[in-house]
Amino acid sequence: MRVDRARCIGSGICAGTAPGHFVLVDGVSRPLAERVAPDEVLVDAADSCPVEAVVVSEVDGLRRIAPEP
């Protein structure tokens, strides 16, 4: 999972959807951990991001899970 800080507009939707995984720092989202097993709440957070700044991939990073490419 990663957050593209250049794209993030700080809407806070990801932190509201998955507070155990994201936090807003200086108005920009930041993941609490870079490597976590993808789960439904992370996919929901990525799909809810209005600018698609949150990207969830498989643990090995090879396949993007959300948002759908």
When divided into structural domains, the chain yields a total of: 1
CA 31-34-35 angle, 5° bins: 130
Global confidence as pTM = 0.89
DSSP state of 32: S
pLDDT class of 61 with cuts at 50, 70, 90: confident
Across 40-67, average pLDDT: 93
Q: Which CATH number do you get for residue 23? A: 3.30.70.20
Please give the pLDDT value at position 68.
87
Which residue range(s) make up the domain with 10? 2-66
> Percentage of the chain surpassing pLDDT 90?
81
Least confident stretch, 22-26, 37-41, 45-49 = 37-41
Residue 69 has pLDDT above 80, yes or no: no
Q: Average model confidence (pLDDT) for the chain?
A: 94
